[in-house]
Structure 1
Amino acid sequence: MRHTKLLTAASAAALLAAAPVAAKDLVYGSWLGSNNATNTNALQPYFDMVREATDGEINWEMVSGAQLANGPATPEAVGANMMDGGIVMAPYQPRMLPATNMLFSQSLIGDDFIAATGAMNEVMMLGCPACQEEYERNDAVGFAGYSVSPYLFMCRDDVETMEDLQSKKIRASGGGVGIVELMGATPVSMPPSDATSALERGTIDCVLGSVQWLRSFGYMDVTDTVVEAPMGMGGPPIMMYVNRGVWEDMTPEQRQAHIDLAPDLVAMETFDAQLAEDESAVAEAKERGITFVEGGQPFDDLMARHDERQYQRNADAARDAGVEDPEALIDAYLAAYEKWKGISEEIGRDRDAFRDALDREIYSKVDPDEM
């Protein structure tokens, strides 16, 4: 009889081993619109790649358009497991994410978008223990940050000079707030999705943001002028901000698949959801009669003054928010930016080379079980 029971147990174990693992259906809440390029050209292809890499065991389903949570509410919604993952912008919740917010507030000067994106990912994943600790403190893990192309002023009226902007109310976030203040204008904090109606009503006069927002947030219909002067690059928005319990419930192989494919996600966001959309949005805007005004030396001088003062202001604000040794973190960030400028010069606009560099320099060094 005992022999029979052993055989039965062994047979049951064999059947269990042969049975397919039940798929996990996970909900990703995006506050971006359903047709936003970050959703369609980056996140959805990434979810498809994760599904394939895990043999269908991990199935991310996107719910877009802030149906589950808007931008400011996303960190809390993910931490409370109201949704399994989402896009997080630290300036919307600076008290929850003070170290990441400090990175966001440090404008990277220039227009090397590839280098900025590489630096943001490297510091967030490898050079900012405080960032990882604050994600854990808020019951989440975070990876796959991105940058946007250099911010520009997009205004509802005709603008020709910096003096024209000084009387304006301008939507800004992160390092852009300091730039607007230094210029003598009034910064207004709001999600970019809310700025469309605010521009239309005249609640604000301009937005300081990525030129592709003309299309992705509908500014095309309420904008008359774009000032072509790079006003710094900020980030990282975190594309994969995942509930910690959900992450820990995955198998090691499933977590590794997410990290292995993170360079693909960042590269798709950079090339397919940012660069390509920027070029297309500019072409459409010009066809529709939006005026592009060259900024010139006054804006270069403004950015030089901003850069002189932002280091200590950001460090002091972060220290007041509880970040230890913020200068070391900013130094690591600026050093990573210089390093990635060299990488950017080598790879140019080669999408696959950028993906490989992200893997080599960053994500191959990340242990998903230690996040």
Structure 2
Amino acid sequence: MTLMTKTTGLCALASVLAAGSASAERISFNVWVPPSEVIVTALFEPYFEAVEQATDGEARFQLFTAGQMLGPLNTMQGVRDGAVSGGMIDASYYGNDLPYTATFSDLIAFAPDPVAGAGASLETFFHDCPECLAEMAENNLIALGGSATAPYTIMCAKEIGSLDDLKGLRIRGSIDFHFALINALGANGVNIPFGDIAQSFERGNVDCMLGGPTWMETFGITELIETRLSTVSFGTISLPAMMSFQRSAWEGWSEEIRSAMIAALPEYIANGTIAVMENDEKAAATAREAGMAEVDLGQSIVDLREAFLVSERARVIEAGKARGAEDVEALLDRFLANYAEWEALSEQIGGDRAAFADALRARVYDDLPM
């Protein structure tokens, strides 16, 4: 990358803004995850570089990572008010301001496949949720898209041979979805901060966690995990407004910049989503080599997930109404219809980034309502 750089503070940003062509549009973007995260290396960094190249340097990006400028709780306000041009936004933190957009953070259980989840979320957000687009505009924001996380699976520092073995265990959770699922499993939810996860496993204060295999590497607990229930995905997180910009800034950029930013999105959303899946499998392979067993609980866990979806639907609808999104049930049904189509597409796409990008162009980005 020749133009976009990462920096450690405002002074570095000021020096970059002062350098180069006076006609270049300087666009700052904040993410609150570390620079080593796949979402940064496989999506944000190459995407911004591609836009710089496509505009011959008319657009120049400054990427702040690890919350150097803003954290997850104040990124939306920072983008809205112009502290940065854009940022990584998880609308679940801003349910009062973005009640419909925040719903997508609640749809985890209904999107077990990352490719289908990302595609259906983007299609539903941009083409089937006028309320989402309206509330973004009301907050001086414009969303361009986002990718999906790895599937949630259950990883335990114990041998698990049946659902009964999970009853009464202490499973780490942090959001409503986690605790709803943990309750459905008959286990006990414990909210342990990220920084305490490794120590909690080492001391036996927690037995299991929900997440992807890369978390084992992140928290240094690969050697401690004995069992992963990997044959059933309990869902993925897809954030269609994850990459958002200040609307008034967006409207001031040239048509060339805006067009280049939209044109590059499908390729890098596909790249980011599939890279997460690939990293997930690499981490799982490492854990298997260290002794972790991949366990299939058969129809019993499939049936549990189906029953959980019924109660989860009611929870999601009630949570939406509590935020002020009165028509969440209709939004959920539109998402489920889109997801069914994307699930079939995902089987055809497999791990083919180009095929995924083509599907995103055809169903989402070739006719993007802005």
TM-score normalised over the length of structure 2: 0.83
* More deviation, 158-167/343-352: 158-167
- Does the CA-based 8 Å contact 1:91-1:174 persist in structure 2? no
| Pairwise CA distance, 1:81 | 2.8
Whole-angstrom distance in 2 between the partners of 1:79 and 1:318: 23
Rate the CA distance shift 1:262–1:113 in 2: closer, same or farther, 3 A: same
Residue 248 (str. 1) matches residue 251 (str. 2): yes
Structure 1: gaps of 5 or more residues = 1-19
* More deviation, 75-84/215-224: 215-224
One-letter identity of the residue aligned with 2:259: Q
- Does the CA-based 8 Å contact 2:90-2:242 persist in structure 1? no
- Does the CA-based 8 Å contact 1:104-1:175 persist in structure 2? no
Query: Which residue of 2 is the match for residue 35 of structure 1?
Result: 36
1:257 to 253, 260, 275: 260
- Does the CA-based 8 Å contact 2:120-2:335 persist in structure 1? yes
Whole-angstrom distance in 2 between the partners of 1:52 and 1:194: 42
CA RMSD of superposed structures (Å): 2.8
- Does the CA-based 8 Å contact 2:55-2:257 persist in structure 1? yes
SS of 2:238's partner is: coil
Q: How big is each residue's C-alpha offset from its partner over 1:185-235, in whole Å with a ceiling of 9 and x where there is no partner?
A: 344567867755665666654331223333356553664432224243233
- Does the CA-based 8 Å contact 1:226-1:293 persist in structure 2? yes
| Pairwise CA distance, 1:99 | 1.5
* More deviation, 307-316/358-367: 307-316
Whole-angstrom distance in 1 between the partners of 2:231 and 2:74: 32
Rate the CA distance shift 1:138–1:337 in 2: closer, same or farther, 3 A: same
Whole-angstrom distance in 2 between the partners of 1:221 and 1:252: 52
* More deviation, 175-184/350-359: 175-184
Whole-angstrom distance in 2 between the partners of 1:43 and 1:194: 28
- Does the CA-based 8 Å contact 2:110-2:336 persist in structure 1? no
Query: Which residue of 2 is the match for residue 75 of structure 1?
Result: 76
| Pairwise CA distance, 1:53 | 1.5
Query: Which residue of 1 is the match for residue 186 of structure 2?
Result: 184
Query: Which residue of 1 is the match for residue 129 of structure 2?
Result: 128
How is 1:29-68 mapped onto 2 (pairs within 5 angstroms)? 29-68=30-69
How is 1:343-354 mapped onto 2 (pairs within 5 angstroms)? 343-354=345-356
How is 1:63-212 mapped onto 2 (pairs within 5 angstroms)? 63-109=64-110, 111-167=112-168, 168-173=170-175, 175-187=177-189, 195=197, 199=201, 204-212=206-214
One-letter identity of the residue aligned with 1:303: R
One-letter identity of the residue aligned with 2:52: R
Whole-angstrom distance in 2 between the partners of 1:87 and 1:160: 40
- Does the CA-based 8 Å contact 2:171-2:190 persist in structure 1? yes
- Does the CA-based 8 Å contact 2:108-2:238 persist in structure 1? no
One-letter identity of the residue aligned with 1:135: M
Among the aligned pairs, what percent are the same residue? 30
How is 1:210-289 mapped onto 2 (pairs within 5 angstroms)? 210-216=212-218, 218-220=220-222, 223-237=225-239, 238-272=241-275, 274-289=276-291
| Pairwise CA distance, 1:364 | 0.8
One-letter identity of the residue aligned with 1:77: G
Rate the CA distance shift 1:96–1:210 in 2: closer, same or farther, 3 A: farther
Whole-angstrom distance in 1 between the partners of 2:56 and 2:64: 22
Q: Which of the pair has more CA radius of gyration?
A: 1
* More deviation, 50-59/352-361: 50-59
How many residue pairs are counted as aligned between the two chains?
Answer: 349
Q: How big is each residue's C-alpha offset from its partner over 1:73-118, in whole Å with a ceiling of 9 and x where there is no partner?
A: 3223322333332222233333333223323222455743322221
| Pairwise CA distance, 1:351 | 1.7
- Does the CA-based 8 Å contact 2:86-2:244 persist in structure 1? yes
One-letter identity of the residue aligned with 2:212: S
One-letter identity of the residue aligned with 1:32: V
SS of 1:242's partner is: strand
